[in-house]
């Protein structure tokens, strides 16, 4: 005796509900990963040249400094409750943070001063606790501005107290940000600077003047660990068929130092 299996019809509403649940699960997983592990960011200015170029796509790791409202991939109004698993950045880290003047904006700078440090610029040289960060000439570069132009800049290797070395640009010998009063970094704050020392609105510039001021650690999003892609925006003024040549292949998947 043969037994015929009957096909059971699945109601359309149940099928759509299952698809919706699967889609929602994928979106939730992506949201959690983006919020807890890492998040991509785009570099729109030349304030971190030569370390970061205009058009770089960054990947910022969130776990090194813990989590707070600034870590969320979307900005919503929540009461400030501090950070969970919070860790202070190391001197020399390149960090992505919410700009205190408008938390919808994400900025990137290098940490040079930790709580308790005394920071001062003297004739273009960084001093931390009365100790000069050493500068070693490293040739000449081209600092790009936000409008696609460029300016010749002297490149140096700066070594911070503690041993972290990185490249910086200097376009002037005695610019407006090259001599500053000594500042003591208070608890819960950081002193951050751009590697393009003559073109960076950083902790040397008060918040009321469009700079960062002393950065609250609660504004940290994460540590900039890698450049995952890069495209030269200056090529936009050229014919469309040449745009593919704007991809900077040598910068793809490179570490940020």
* Residues with a known catalytic role: 47, 109
Query: Alpha-carbon distance 190 to 188, whole Å?
Result: 7
Nearest to 167 by CA among 32, 249, 48: 48
Task: Kindly report the backbone phi and psi dihedral angles of residue 244, in degrees, each rounded to the nearest multiple of 5, phi listed first.
Answer: -60, -25
Alpha carbon separation from 232 to 49, 93, 152 (Å, rounded): 13, 25, 18
Query: Alpha-carbon distance 27 to 32, whole Å?
Result: 9
| Half-sphere exposure of residue 175: CA atoms within 13 angstroms, side-chain side | 16
Identify whether the C-beta of residue 227 lies closer than 8 Å to the C-beta of residue 52: yes
Which residues is 106 bridged to in the sheet?
98
Query: H or E stretch including 92?
Result: none
Q: Where are the alpha helices (DSSP H) in 94-253?
A: none
């Amino acid at each position: 005796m043969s037994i015929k299996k009957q096909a059971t019809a699945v109601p359309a509403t149940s099928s759509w509900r299952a698809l919706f649940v699967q889609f929602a699960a994928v979106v939730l997983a992506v949201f959690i990963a983006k919020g807890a592990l890492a998040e991509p960011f785009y570099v729109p200015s030349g304030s971190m040249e030569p370390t970061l170029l205009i058009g770089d796509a960054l990947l910022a790791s969130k776990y090194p400094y813990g989590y707070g409202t600034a870590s969320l991939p979307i900005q919503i109004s929540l009461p400030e409750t501090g950070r969970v698993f919070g860790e202070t950045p190391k001197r020399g880290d390149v960090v992505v943070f919410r700009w205190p003047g408008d938390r919808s904006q994400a900025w990137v700078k290098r940490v040079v001063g930790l709580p308790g440090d005394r920071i001062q610029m003297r004739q273009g040289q960084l001093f931390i606790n009365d100790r000069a960060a050493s500068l070693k000439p490293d040739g000449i570069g081209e600092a790009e501005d936000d409008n696609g132009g460029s300016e010749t800049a002297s490149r140096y290797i700066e070594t911070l107290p503690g041993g972290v070395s990185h490249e910086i640009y200097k376009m002037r010998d005695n610019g407006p940000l090259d001599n500053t009063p000594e500042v003591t970094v208070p608890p819960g704050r950081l002193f951050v600077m751009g590697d393009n020392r003559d073109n960076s609105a950083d902790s040397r510039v008060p918040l009321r003047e469009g700079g960062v001021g002393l950065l609250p650690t609660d504004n940290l999003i994460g540590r900039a660990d890698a450049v995952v892609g890069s495209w030269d925006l200056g090529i936009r003024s050229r014919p469309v068929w040449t745009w593919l040549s704007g991809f900077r292949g040598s910068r793809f998947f490179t570490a940020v130092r």
